[in-house]
Structure 1
Amino acid sequence: VTKTNFKIVTASNPYIDKFFYYDRDLSVVITELKKEQYDYVIDLHNNLRSNKIRRALKKKCFTINKLNVQKFLLTKLNVDLMPRVHITQRSLNTVAALNVFDDGLGLDYFIPKEDIVDQNDIPTSHSAGFIAVVIGANYFTKKLPVHKLQELCYKVDHPIILLGGKEDRITGEAITALDPVKIYNACGKFNLNESADLVRQSKMVISHDTGMQYIACAFKKPLLAIWGGTSPKLDVEPYYGKLFMDQQSAPVYENIVLNLRCQPCSKFGTHTCPLEHFNCMERQDIDAIVEKVNDRLRRK
C-alpha cells in the first residue's frame, strides 16, 4: 500500500505480487484490502494513515518503531540516543518473527525497459562517462546553496549531468551557464525512472540527502553524500548491504557532514535554517569535496 505518486518506483518490482495505490481516500483501499483476507499487516510507516488501515483490518500487526523520542532528543536537544541501526535494518528487524532476514545484498531498484535512457538522449561529450550530481531535495536545508553548487561543478574536471525535478530547472541553468559543454542540465527532462537510469550509467554520484542517494546505493555506485539539516546520525546514511561492503577494498561512499552542534536540526529538513546562518552547507569545503571526487575517479 502506498500513494499513487510512488507507483513509478514500485510497479516494476518483481518481488511484490499486488499493489494498492491511493491518493486521499483510504476507505476504498481498505475495502479492497479486506477482500484479500491477508493474515498479517506489516506497518513500516506507523503514522495516522497506516494506523487506520491496521485498525480496520484487525489482523496481527508488525509495526516499526520510528524512534520519535530519540529523534526529538537528537534534533532539538543534541542528545544522541540513536541505536546506530540503519532504518533498512530496523525495517527488516520488524518482520524478523516472520523469518524475514537481511540477505546482505543491499537495496533494489527496478527500471522498466521503456525508461532506459538511450545514449542518443545525452550529449556525445558525456558518452565516455559522467558524474551524476543530484542538485534537488525536498527542503531548503538539505540543499547546497546555488553558489556552492556552481563552485563544485565548475571545479570538477569531468563531464557532469545535473539531476533533479522541474522545480530544479532554473538552478540547473545557473550551474550549466558556467560551462555548457562540461555540464548538462537534465533537471525536468527525464522522469524518475529515467533519472535513476542516468544514475546507473554514471561513474559516480554526488547527492544531497534524497531518494537518489539510495538509488545510487541500489546500483552500487560510488557516492559522496552531502548532509545539511539532516545527518547520518538519524541512521539513514547510504546503505549498500553487508556482503557488498565486505568485498570492497576501499570505501564506496563517504558522508560529507560537518557535524556541527546544531546538526541535525530536523528529521526530514526544513524550509529555512532555524538559526538563520545555514552553516552546515555554507561552510562546506568545496575544494575538499573536489579532491574526494578526483580521488574516486583515479581509482577507476
Structure 2
Amino acid sequence: MTRAVKILVLQFASIGDVVLTTPVLRCLKQQMPNALVCYCTKGVYQPIIDANPYITKAYYQDGSVYQLIRQLQAESFDYVIDLQNTFTTGLIKAVLGVRSYSVDRQHLRQWAYIRWKLNAMTDQHIVDRFMATVAPLGVENDGRGLDYFIPYRDEVETDWLPETHQQNFVAYAIGGQSLTRRLPVLRMIELCLKINYPIVLLGDKDDRKTGDEIVRAVGERHIYNACGHYNINQSASLLRRARVVFSHDTGLMHIAAAFHRKIYSIWGSTTPQFGFYPYKTPHVRLETPGLGCRPCSVTPTGSCPMNHFKCMNNLPFDFEVKELRTKKKFD
C-alpha cells in the first residue's frame, strides 16, 4: 500500500489569490492520487474553501500566526507549497522544517515596473507561476482553468431577483481593494448607460452606497443593487448565470473566470502585465492607453499619486458588447 503524501498549500492574500490557486489543488489531487492536499489561509476565506473537493483538510488563521504555527506543527507534512512567498509564509516554512517549494513572485521585476516603468515582467499568468511551483513534484497544468464550487444552499433562486432581471442580465462587480482600482461613481453610471441592459451590481456591504447612487441615476428597472445582499458564494452563483461580466481588478473577476464567463476587465492603477488578468476565459481589457504613470501600484492604494486619476477618468468606453446585440435591452 502506497503511503499517503501530506501536502500543505499556503495562500493568505485575498479572495482572488485563493481562487487562483485552485488549479494547483486540483492537479495535485488528480495527478498524485496518494496526496492529502491541505490548505492554509485566513478564516474569512473559509466559504471558498469548504466546498472544494480537492482539499482534504483546511487550517485557518483567526488569531496570531504563532497560534496557527503551533497547530500546523502538530501535523506531519511531507511538503509545503508556498503560493504567496511572504515573510509570514517564510516563517511557517522555517518552523515546519520540511521540504518546500515557493512561487516566484518576481518582486524585483514588479518593483522596477512600478518605480521606473521598466516592464521586465515575464509574459506568464500567475496561475502558470503557481503551477511551475509544483512541477518538481511531477505535477503539470491540465489546462482546465480555475475552479469554484458553490454549496447547494447558496444557489440563488431565479425569483430572488427582480422580474426585470430574471431571464438575462449583465453582472458588474463594482468593488475593488482600493479607490484606484475602481471607476469613480459618475463613470460607473456612464458605463451602465453604455451597456444598456439589465445589470446586477455585485459587491460587499461597503459597496452598497455606491450601488444605490447608480440605481438613483440609472433607474431601478435597469439596475439591481445586490451589493451586501448576498454572501460570496451567492454572488458567485449570480456570476455564473450572467450573460457577460464587467469587473474591476477584484476577486469576483477571478470567480467569473472560473465559470468561463466573458469578462470585460477594467484596469486603473494596476495592469494585466502583473499576471492577474482573467485566466482561461474570453475577456476584453479596458484600459487608458499611453499613460506613463501606470502602474502606480500592485497593492491597494488610497488615492492617485499624480492627483489626476487619468487611468479611470479618461478610460474610453469605445467597446461593443457583441453578446448583447440580439437581446432585449432597456426600454
When normalised by structure 1's length, the TM-score is 0.92
2:75 alignment partner in structure 1: 36
2:200 alignment partner in structure 1: 161
| C-alpha deviation, 1:285, in angstroms | 1.7
1:55 partnered with 2:94: yes
Same amino acid, percent of matched pairs: 39
After superposition, residues 107-122 of structure 1 pair within 5 angstroms as 107-122=146-161
Gaps of at least 5 residues in structure 2 are 1-39
User: What letter matches 2:57 in structure 1?
Assistant: K
1:187 alignment partner in structure 2: 227
1:262 partnered with 2:293: yes
User: Deviations 1:136-188 (Å, cap 9, x if unpaired)?
Assistant: 11101000000000111123221100001111111101101121111000010
| C-alpha deviation, 1:33, in angstroms | 1.9
| C-alpha deviation, 1:299, in angstroms | 7.8
After superposition, residues 116-265 of structure 1 pair within 5 angstroms as 116-177=155-216, 178-240=218-280, 252-259=282-289, 260-265=291-296
User: What letter matches 2:173 in structure 1?
Assistant: V
* Kept after mapping to 1: 8 A contact 2:287/2:316: no
| CA 212–296 in structure 1, closer or farther in 2 if over 3 Å, else same | same
> Distance between the aligned counterparts of 1:234 and 1:159, measured in 2?
32
User: Deviations 1:71-118 (Å, cap 9, x if unpaired)?
Assistant: 011111100000111100000101100011111010001111111001
Higher deviation after alignment, 32-41 or 221-230: 32-41
User: What letter matches 1:237 in structure 2?
Assistant: Y
- Secondary structure at 1:50 match in 2: helix
2:313 alignment partner in structure 1: 282
When normalised by structure 2's length, the TM-score is 0.84
User: What letter matches 2:151 in structure 1?
Assistant: P
- Secondary structure at 1:138 match in 2: coil
> Distance between the aligned counterparts of 1:269 and 1:29, measured in 2?
26
> Distance between the aligned counterparts of 1:168 and 1:35, measured in 2?
40
- Secondary structure at 1:20 match in 2: strand
> Distance between the aligned counterparts of 1:265 and 1:299, measured in 2?
40
| CA 299–233 in structure 1, closer or farther in 2 if over 3 Å, else same | farther
> Distance between the aligned counterparts of 1:155 and 1:86, measured in 2?
30
Gaps of at least 5 residues in structure 1 are 246-251
Instruction: Quote the RMSD (CA, aligned, Å).
Output: 1.3
Ranked by relative contact order (alpha carbons within 8 Å, sequence separation 6 or more), the top structure is: 1
* Kept after mapping to 2: 8 A contact 1:164/1:186: yes
Equivalenced residues, count: 286
| C-alpha deviation, 1:8, in angstroms | 1.1
- Secondary structure at 1:111 match in 2: coil
> Distance between the aligned counterparts of 1:69 and 1:156, measured in 2?
39
- Secondary structure at 1:228 match in 2: coil
* Kept after mapping to 1: 8 A contact 2:288/2:316: no
- Secondary structure at 1:52 match in 2: helix
